[in-house]
Amino acid sequence: MNPKNENIIDLATKTIVLLQSNQVTARIYGGVAVGINCPSFVDKSRIYKDIDIVCRYSELKKLRMVLLSNGYVEKDESQFIKHKRQCFVKNGILLEFVFDELNYCHRIVLKNRLKDSYPTISISDLFLSKIQNVNLSTFDILDICALLAEYDLTENQYFERISDILSHDYGFYKTTIQNLDFIGQHLPDDLLQITGTIELLKTKITGKRKSIRWFFNKMLINNNIWYNIVE
């Protein structure tokens, strides 16, 4: 592993341990979380630039107190941004904290799921956090492929959470199916073995019984934009 990545992963895990020891519930997500969970399949050329962490907004005051008293430097942000995101720097590395949920192209509520895994969010939520991006970056694609190669997301321990979200949210469902189609058509040669997993995952997602809310959302969306525009 690249030494820079080792430093970032080390800081990320130490930050979670520090917060946990001070009764602050926080978990890593993003590329660093994929690197921690998929060491055999993560792209070796990937260089992590920062650390993404989700925690509870109700613990924001304690979070700031713990970090500031342990050498983390708070970055200046507007009051509006502070309520959505908190940024700190440690050893020249940026740490970005979001609260209760991931709210990008699609919303993933995590407030009550942060204790389901450690030190990152769960594998299912990590997959959802990557596949929700309407405009996938190269790194998003590589991270999704790593997750699909490392874990069988069609198994109930993973699929139950994925299907629960997608069977109630038509927009998120649409984005997921489109992204899986795209990834399946553009797999690198060394990951062709996950073709069957992608097809099976799509089949299970489309075959899952949908809620009334899902159909209602589909009617409302029709041909309109089905995702949030991220600035």
| Residue 223 pLDDT greater than 80, yes or no | no
- What mean pLDDT is predicted for residues 21-40? 96
CA dihedral 150, 119, 60, 85 (to 10 degrees): -30
For residue 45, the model assigns a pLDDT of 77
| Residue 94 pLDDT greater than 90, yes or no | yes
Which domains does the chain possess? 3-221 (3.30.460.40)
| Residue 112 pLDDT greater than 80, yes or no | yes
Residue pair 25/114 in contact (Cβ under 8 Å)? The answer is yes
The model carries a pTM of 0.94
